């Protein structure tokens, strides 16, 4: 007699199913950049589709996955510390599963097992989409149902892996969303580990990206940030220039056509690929927000050369001036490394000078950290820690002053704000950003989330502006009402 159970698909195993019900809560902790955030979101969707539930805390989880960063040593140390703490938990609960994904997994591979022998899973940057299969295998093994998982360490390159970072969490549909347009980087900046961890440039087709943005917009997204390690190189290998426009500008134009989308941002461009076609785009594409994160790294030509950055301060400034000509209200942000081997006080002062000249009001200042496998790692890390610290501090002070000053100038003006959602503090307080990416807090109501509204700025601090809604139809000399 054939039992009912044998009629089920052969892969179905009742015992495993029950076990899965009990141990399917996954917490994903993300370190590092927006690309990592986006990868984690895509993994979360894949796991949900496989029947796992995603939880918001490691304490509620049966499985913790750390999506890691390798750009600086500190980021790796943090994740290793966390993984050590988590694998300890396995002593009490042997069924608890801990995995490391992303850049550190790719960078250190199975060497991680020397430090963390109880890790269950190590998944590289081109294998995020394999995580559900790996977890299924591990769970079956824990339950004594399957053979040892074929792969605990999965790091190989995989053609088309850039096309697997696609799905978004629909329930969390947010006003602003990140869209990964490419993976990897072909540049070889001497300090940077990214080409090693992320591989060569691989771009997604325009059609796929446009489809993804259309779906996001249908679910309530009003602003997208196009993501890649070097977005100005987007599509170089798959698309020709058209009317002197690069594939990246062609992509932006296509995304710009999507009805219902209000704003387009991107990160990060490279000064070398920031050509006139992209500069001009700011003048004729109103959804392209006038805020550019343009990594400078150093304001000294000598240092740029030493870093193998293929541009000089003069060409960087031409881009800045060109963008200001295209969009006079343009705001800039940047990345700077202080204390790169051989950086003298004069080199640093040149950086400080350019920093002021551009007037960055946002930016990231990093202390140089040697990364094994990079060209710079062969050089002596000769700038003392205190000097790196002092240079870092000096630039942060300039940044603070410039940010404070540019925010103060906005007091009394009316800004167009895209309402993102409730502010973290304050009843009926909402948060949004102006086109230049400045955060603004103001009283509003839920129905305005996702809308572009006019807000009069009343107060400013270094990081935030406060204001009130300007209601349509209100005469200038009437008192301004708040909702």
Which residues of this chain interact with ligand SAH, rule CB under 6 A?
71-72, 191-192, 194, 229-230, 267-268, 295, 297, 335, 337, 366, 368-369, 371
Residue 192 found at the interface with ligand F3S (CB under 6 A): yes
d(CA 47, CA 39): 12
Nearer to ligand F3S, 269 or 450 (CB): 269
Smaller CB separation from ligand F3S, 185 or 441: 185
Smaller CB distance to ligand F3S: residue 125 or 229? 229
> 242 CB contacts (<8 Å, ≥6 apart)?
250
Phi, psi of 326 (to 5 degrees): -70, -40
Mask for 403-432, x = binds ligand F3S (CB under 6 A): ------------------------------
Interface pick for ligand F3S out of 124, 132, 195, 271 (rule CB under 6 A):
195
Return d(Cα 93, Cα 304) in angstroms, integer: 51
Dihedral sign, CA of 284, 281, 255, 433?
Answer: negative
Structure-token pair, residue 58: 């490691």
Let me know: does 100 contact 132? Beta carbons within 8 Å: no
Instruction: Quickly list H helices, 143-236.
Output: 194-198, 206-218
- Report in angstroms how near the CB of residue 296 gets to ligand SAH at its nearest: 9
Tokens at 345, concatenated: 């006080």
Is residue 481 a contact partner of residue 467, using CB atoms and an 8 Å limit? no
Asked whether 179 and 216 are in contact (CB, 8 A), the reply is: yes
Binding ligand F3S (rule: CB under 6 A), the pick from 142, 173, 187, 375 is: 187
Residue with tokens 């850039």: 162
- Of the pair 37, 214, the CB lying nearest ligand F3S is at 37
- Minimum separation from the CB atom of position 70 to ligand F3S (A): 11
Nearer to ligand F3S, 168 or 309 (CB): 309
Query: Strand 223-227's sheet: what is its strand order?
Result: 176-180, 223-227, 263-267
Q: Whose Cβ is closer to ligand F3S: residue 201's or residue 223's?
A: 201
**Which helix (H) or strand (E) covers residue 78, if one does?**
helix 73-92
Under the criterion CB under 6 A, does residue 270 sit at the interface with ligand F3S? yes
For residues 302 to 321, the per-residue mask of contacts with ligand F3S, x marking binding by CB under 6 A and - elsewhere, is --------------------
369 binds, among ligand SAH, ligand F3S, none (CB under 5 to 8 A by kind): ligand SAH
Q: What is the DSSP string of 254-269?
A: HHHT-TT--EEEEE--
- The residue (of 310 and 359) whose beta carbon lies closer to ligand F3S is 310
Q: Minimum distance between the CB of residue 191 and ligand SAH, rounded to whole angstroms?
A: 4
Burial of residue 398 (CB within 10 Å: 0-12, 13-18, 19+) is middle
72 binds, among ligand F3S, ligand SAH, none (CB under 5 to 8 A by kind): ligand SAH
Of 32-40, 181-189, 414-422, 472-480, which segment contacts ligand F3S by CB under 6 A? 181-189
Contacting positions for ligand F3S (CB under 6 A)? 185, 187, 189, 192, 194-195, 229-230, 270
């Amino acid at each position: 007699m054939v039992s009912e159970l044998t009629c089920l698909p052969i892969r179905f195993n009742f015992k495993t199913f029950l076990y899965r019900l009990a141990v399917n809560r996954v917490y994903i902790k993300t370190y590092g950049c927006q690309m990592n955030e986006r990868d984690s979101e895509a993994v979360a969707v894949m796991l949900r589709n496989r029947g796992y539930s995603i939880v918001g805390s490691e304490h509620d989880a049966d499985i913790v996955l750390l999506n890691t960063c390798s750009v600086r040593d500190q980021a790796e140390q943090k994740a290793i510390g966390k993984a050590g703490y988590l694998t300890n938990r396995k002593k009490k609960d042997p069924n608890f599963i801990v995995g490391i994904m992303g850049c550190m997994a790719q960078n250190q591979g199975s060497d991680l097992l020397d430090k963390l022998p109880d890790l269950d899973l190590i998944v590289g940057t081109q294998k995020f989409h394999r995580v559900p299969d790996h977890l299924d295998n591990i769970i079956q093994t824990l339950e004594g149902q399957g053979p040892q998982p074929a792969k605990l360490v999965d790091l190989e390159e995989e053609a088309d892996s850039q096309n697997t970072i696609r799905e978004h969490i629909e329930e969390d549909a947010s006003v602003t969303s990140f869209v990964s347009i490419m993976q990897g980087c072909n540049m070889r900046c001497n300090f940077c580990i990214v080409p090693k961890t992320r591989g060569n440039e691989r771009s997604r087709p325009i059609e796929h990206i446009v489809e993804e943005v259309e779906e996001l917009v249908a679910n309530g997204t009003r602003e997208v940030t196009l993501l890649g390690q070097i977005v100005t190189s987007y599509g170089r290998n798959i698309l020709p220039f058209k009317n002197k426009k690069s594939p990246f500008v062609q992509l932006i134009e296509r995304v710009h056509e999507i009805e219902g989308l209000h704003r387009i941002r991107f990160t990060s461009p490279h000064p070398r690929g920031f050509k006139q076609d992209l500069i001009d785009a700011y003048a004729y594409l109103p959804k392209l927000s006038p805020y550019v994160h343009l990594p400078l790294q150093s304001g000294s030509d000598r240092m740029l050369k030493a870093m193998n950055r293929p541009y000089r301060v003069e060409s960087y400034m031409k881009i800045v001036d060109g963008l200001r000509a295209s969009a006079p209200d343009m705001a800039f942000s940047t990345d700077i490394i202080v204390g790169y081997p051989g950086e003298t006080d004069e080199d640093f002062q040149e950086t400080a000078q350019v920093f002021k000249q551009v007037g960055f009001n946002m930016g990231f200042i990093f202390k140089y950290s040697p990364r094994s496998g990079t060209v710079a790692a062969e050089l002596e890390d000769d700038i003392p820690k205190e000097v790196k610290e002092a240079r870092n501090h000096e630039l942060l002070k300039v940044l603070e002053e410039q940010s404070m000053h540019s925010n103060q100038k906005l007091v009394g003006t009316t800004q167009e704000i895209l309402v993102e959602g409730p502010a973290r503090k304050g009843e009926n307080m909402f948060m949004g950003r102006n086109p230049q990416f400045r955060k603004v807090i103001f009283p509003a109501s839920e129905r305005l989330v996702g809308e572009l509204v006019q807000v009069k700025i009343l107060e400013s601090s270094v990081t935030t502006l406060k204001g009130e809604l300007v209601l349509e139809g209100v005469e200038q000399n009437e008192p301004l009402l708040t909702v």
